[in-house]
Amino acid sequence: MPVRTLGERELELLRDVIEHGPLGSIDHGRMVGRFEKAFAAMVGAKFGVAMNSAMSVLHSAVMASGAGAGDEVICDPVVVFGAMAAMYANAVPVFVDVDPVSWNMDPDKIEERLTERTKALIVTHMCGLPTEMDRIMAIARKHGLFVIEDCAHSILSTFRGRCVGTFGDVGSFSFQESKQLSLGDGGMAVTDSAQIEEKLSLHGSAPTFKSVGYGLHYNFRMTEVTAAVGLGQMERIRGYIEGFQSVGRILNEAVAGCPWLVPQKGPDYAVNTYHLWGCRFEGDKHGVSKEDFVRVLDEEGCDGVFSYTGLTAYRHPVVADRTPHALNCPSYTGKQNRYPDGLCPVAEDLAPRILFAATWIAEDKARETAERLRKAVKRMG
């Protein structure tokens, strides 16, 4: 069953924290240290660094890459979080278009976006479906790029049998309430590099001599309480993942044969762990309007299916308003319209078409949602 549960095991670990303390975790802590080691081992990485959110992990990873004001960071155009992480470091997000079937970054489009300013690449495994990491890593190593994998959707997703997050220099995982490992909030960085682990760990320690030479660092620590719950939930995560995948299959079956609802799909060697189930609406090519379909979904009580923002990342106000310093610094004079229409045509076409459904629901609820989805599709003819 994919519905996340909390029980006696989590209470046992929380009692340990409360009885023995401390609640904080400067320099990794007791529970946090255990959680870091266990999570890294689970995905096949050497080091884990726990933080208060995945956004903190992405921010820290960009800083670990050495990217700063005026440098460029390659990002996905479907979600905005990689771009935000770049802007936190006053670096400039540069967007690479996606594959129309997988919705993941298209490796064939990366090299045309590279410049002498490019320092890092942030790649998202969208909805839990792994990106073509072998091809992306070959390009990154050729050009000396620091690679950050945004695995917020993809705990235990595998590409050619290997967990995502372990291909690049840093893997970033999310424990926000809706994610597969749900702790209310929190994040984890994984890496195989002791030097990178040291840089990332600075953001979870008190300011000391250790920070000399690394510039600013931030207080992104995870608490012992969160880590205790994380240790308990890790004992259930594989069962959760099986449940998410089951819900994904149920919803795929619900739209099978419908030519204008096309589920996200990847190659057989990319195992999707379905943080979300997604499909692309192409009704306009078949005489079906999205507005009418959404209305019928509502009439059928299919409230589990919903639209995303409808915007590419560079149309999101935080990017489009160009608030960060780097987008307005003197070295970019004359480049004020960095993100024109048509920059990523596949993503621009895809963004308003995406429909999602939650997978963290009981299987009977998933079958109910699937049946209502079938009825809505049938009503549209």
The answer to whether residues 142 and 195 belong to one domain is yes
Give the end of a domain, one of 207, 236, 265. 236
**The pLDDT value given to residue 272:** 98
**The pLDDT value given to residue 333:** 47
Give the end of a domain, one of 203, 236, 269. 236
CA distances from 27 to 32, 240, 261 (A): 9, 31, 49
**Is 2 a domain residue?**
no
**The pLDDT value given to residue 215:** 60
Nearest to 225 by CA among 2, 25, 8, 7: 25
**Is 317 a domain residue?**
no
Nearest to 131 by CA among 248, 8, 271: 271
**The pLDDT value given to residue 203:** 74
The answer to whether residues 186 and 48 belong to one domain is yes
The answer to whether residues 306 and 215 belong to one domain is no
Give the end of a domain, one of 192, 207, 236. 236
For the chain, the C-alpha Rg in angstroms (whole number) is 21
**The pLDDT value given to residue 216:** 66
Q: What is the rounded distance in angstroms from the CA atom of residue 58 to the CA atom of residue 62?
A: 6
The answer to whether residues 219 and 269 belong to one domain is no
Token pair in block for residue 309: 């923002």
The answer to whether residues 184 and 254 belong to one domain is no
Token pair in block for residue 94: 């540069």
Q: Give mean pLDDT in consecutive 10-residue pieces for the chain, a chain of 381 residues.
A: 83 94 79 97 98 96 92 96 93 96 98 97 98 98 98 98 98 96 96 95 64 67 96 96 96 96 97 97 94 94 83 91 59 64 97 94 93 95 78
> Locate tokens 């926000």: which residue?
176
DSSP reduced 3-state for 277: strand
**The pLDDT value given to residue 208:** 56
**The pLDDT value given to residue 334:** 46
The answer to whether residues 214 and 262 belong to one domain is no
**Is 62 a domain residue?**
yes
Task: CATH number of the domain at 268, please.
Answer: 3.90.1150.10
The answer to whether residues 214 and 247 belong to one domain is no
**Is 216 a domain residue?**
yes
> Locate tokens 């949602």: which residue?
369
Q: What is the rounded distance in angstroms from the CA atom of residue 2 to the CA atom of residue 354?
A: 23
The answer to whether residues 290 and 176 belong to one domain is no
The answer to whether residues 216 and 251 belong to one domain is no
**Is 335 a domain residue?**
no
**Is 93 a domain residue?**
yes
Q: List, as one string, the DSSP characters of 10-61.
A: HHHHHHHHHHH--S--GGGTTHHHHHHHHHHHHHT-SEEEEES-HHHHHHHH
The answer to whether residues 191 and 265 belong to one domain is no
**Is 264 a domain residue?**
yes
- For the chain, the domain total comes to 2
The answer to whether residues 130 and 274 belong to one domain is no
**Is 320 a domain residue?**
no
The answer to whether residues 179 and 249 belong to one domain is no
User: Domain of 283?
Assistant: 238-311+345-379
